[in-house]
């Protein structure tokens, strides 16, 4: 046991003392905040054009002329000139477009836009919106319907979700739950790959440098593999805890700078308050550890079977396919139906549970028996994976110059001590 602890200590200290490790602790939360700000700015300005656009409106129907209103960087001007004459103006200035409306504007292809380049989506969307609004108002007036009264009847109702719990009713946010669930799924997906790959690279480096021959003369191969896996795993946990603390501090600073109750940032922080972060964090740590132990053991076996990283692809794909499959479903399907049969089964199967369960947990609909069964299956899964990987590792770590195949790995597995 002391030998394993020494290996853990070495693997941990070598990595946490690196400048890159310390830098990443502070850089990642900063990048996340910067990215969030950039996304907010892009979302705010996405509906605006970068330059002033002049739209010449040639209305042959007589319904739309003079009824367009200028918005943002779009200016409308009614014209009676022919299409060919308007095209000459458009060729001189690429910021001018021609909107031609036929007499029978309801017919197919009766409304056309002419420009020297493909118009921006923001421009076409605004034109379509105003065209439909004007057409609807014209139809209502023809049927003697007061448009002012009709507009006054429109409402803007939003839902406030309330969770019924044993301790009373609590406010919740579906959007916040979906956002946190997807974020956790992405984080655990990336972490399993990053830290699992570190274990694999460490094994390959020791194998190719022949250092492992000296090491295994003092410790058993299983002890070496276990020490490397746990040591790198602790490095990952250290980074996560540092990121969590720094993110909390940053969110407090950002939250205090938005004192206006109308601020969208305040609304976001209020929505996040409905999430049980302590519970989610506890579940995250469990699935990170068990998922990491499961996949890193397999990565270690792959590293012991090859002599360079270029040879790992044939073994990596079948190992990572379940994780990749679940990740794709998580960001596209599972968060929309976290209690579906597909989501439940994926959150129980050990190879897919770390990602799938983290999508479901923020929604709060995971039955205790499902969570308990999933956790038991994760423990059994990583114990089994470690046992299988250890039997391959003990032989592969001392094999050189021979390209391994699946048939060869099967032989290594059945070798006796």
Residues 200 and 310 in one domain: yes
CA distance 306 to 393: 11
Mean pLDDT confidence for 63-79: 86
Whole-model pTM over 0.75? no
180's CB contacts (< 8 A; 6+ apart) are 272, 275, 280, 362
Residues 122 and 238 in one domain: no
Q: Please check whether residue 48 lies inside any domain of the structure.
A: no
Residues 264 and 401 in one domain: yes
Q: pLDDT tens-digit profile of 314-336?
A: 788 888 899 889 988 887 888 88
298's CB contacts (< 8 A; 6+ apart) are 196, 319, 385, 388, 389
Highest mean pLDDT among 39-48, 84-93, 308-317, 374-383: 374-383
Q: Please check whether residue 65 lies inside any domain of the structure.
A: yes
Mean pLDDT confidence for 26-35: 73
Token pair belonging to 69 = 């209103």
Q: Residue 246 is part of which domain span?
A: 173-414
49: confidence class by pLDDT, cuts 50, 70, 90: low
* Percentage of residues in the chain having pLDDT higher than 90: 8
Residues 138 and 188 in one domain: no
Q: pLDDT tens-digit profile of 220-253?
A: 777 888 888 888 888 888 888 887 777 767 666 6
CA distance 229 to 238: 14
- List the CATH number of the domain containing 118: 3.40.190.10
Q: pLDDT tens-digit profile of 109-120?
A: 788 888 887 777
* Percentage of residues in the chain having pLDDT higher than 70: 82
Q: Please check whether residue 189 lies inside any domain of the structure.
A: yes
Q: Please check whether residue 403 lies inside any domain of the structure.
A: yes
Q: Please check whether residue 167 lies inside any domain of the structure.
A: no
In the prediction, which pLDDT does 357 show? 92
Residues 187 and 78 in one domain: no
Average pLDDT for the chain: 79
In 10 A of CB 310, how many CB atoms? 7
382 vs 262: which has the higher pLDDT:
382
Q: pLDDT tens-digit profile of 286-325?
A: 998 899 889 988 888 888 888 777 777 778 888 889 988 9
Residues 138 and 219 in one domain: no
Residues 118 and 187 in one domain: no
In the prediction, which pLDDT does 196 show? 85
10 Å CB burial of residue 326 (0-12, 13-18, 19+) is: buried
| CA nearest neighbour of 28 among 347, 264, 245, 198 | 245
Q: Please check whether residue 287 lies inside any domain of the structure.
A: yes
Provide the number of structural domains found in the chain: 2
Residues 344 and 224 in one domain: yes
Residues 83 and 225 in one domain: no
The answer to which of 92-96, 175-179, 281-285 has the lowest mean pLDDT is 175-179
Mean pLDDT confidence for 352-367: 87
Q: Please check whether residue 27 lies inside any domain of the structure.
A: no
Residue 111: enclosing H or E segment and its boundaries?
strand 111-114
Residues 403 and 322 in one domain: yes
Residues 385 and 317 in one domain: yes
Contact 87, 128 (CB under 8 A): no
Residues 221 and 349 in one domain: yes
262: confidence class by pLDDT, cuts 50, 70, 90: very low
Q: pLDDT tens-digit profile of 147-192?
A: 777 777 777 766 666 656 666 556 656 666 777 788 888 888 888 8
Q: Please check whether residue 67 lies inside any domain of the structure.
A: yes
């Amino acid at each position: 046991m002391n030998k394993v602890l020494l290996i853990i200590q070495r693997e941990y200290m070598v990595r946490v003392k690196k400048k890159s490790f310390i830098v990443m602790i502070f850089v990642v939360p900063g990048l996340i905040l910067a990215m969030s700000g950039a996304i907010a700015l892009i979302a705010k300005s996405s509906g605006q054009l970068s330059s002033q656009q002049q739209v010449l409106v040639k209305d042959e129907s007589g319904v739309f002329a003079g009824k367009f209103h200028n918005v943002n960087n779009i200016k409308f001007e009614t014209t009676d000139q022919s299409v060919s004459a308007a095209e000459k103006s458009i060729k001189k200035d690429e910021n001018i477009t021609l909107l031609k409306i036929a007499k029978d504007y309801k017919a197919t292809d009766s409304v056309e836009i002419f420009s020297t380049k493909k118009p921006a989506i923001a421009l076409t969307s605004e034109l379509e919106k105003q065209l439909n609004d004007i057409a609807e108002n014209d139809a209502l007036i023809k049927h003697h319907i007061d448009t002012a009264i009709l507009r006054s009847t429109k409402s803007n109702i939003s839902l406030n979700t309330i969770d019924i719990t044993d301790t009373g009713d609590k406010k919740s946010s579906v959007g916040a739950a979906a956002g946190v669930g997807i974020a956790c799924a992405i984080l655990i997906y990336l972490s399993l790959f990053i830290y699992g790959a570190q274990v694999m690279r460490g094994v390959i480096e020791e194998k190719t440098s022949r250092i492992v021959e000296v090491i295994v003369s003092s410790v058993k191969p299983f002890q070496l593999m276990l020490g490397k896996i746990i040591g790198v795993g602790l490095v990952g946990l250290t980074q996560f805890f540092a990121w969590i603390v720094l993110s909390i501090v940053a969110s407090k600073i950002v939250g205090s700078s938005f004192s206006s109750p109308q601020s969208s940032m305040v609304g976001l922080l209020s929505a996040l308050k409905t999430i049980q972060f302590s519970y989610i964090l506890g579940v995250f740590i469990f699935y990170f550890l068990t998922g990491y132990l499961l996949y890193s053991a397999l990565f270690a076996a792959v590293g012991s079977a090859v002599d360079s990283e270029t040879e790992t692809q044939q073994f990596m794909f079948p190992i990572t396919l379940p994780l990749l499959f679940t990740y794709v479903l998580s960001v596209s399907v599972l968060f929309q139906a976290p209690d579906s049969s597909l989501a439940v089964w994926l959150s129980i199967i050990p190879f897919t549970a770390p990602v799938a369960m983290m999508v479901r947990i923020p929604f709060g609909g995971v039955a205790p028996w499902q969570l308990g069964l999933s956790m038991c299956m994760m423990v059994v899964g990583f114990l089994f994976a470690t046992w299988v990987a250890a039997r391959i590792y003990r032989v592969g770590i001392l094999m050189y110059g021979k390209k391994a195949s699946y048939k060869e790995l099967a032989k290594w597995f059945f070798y006796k001590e």
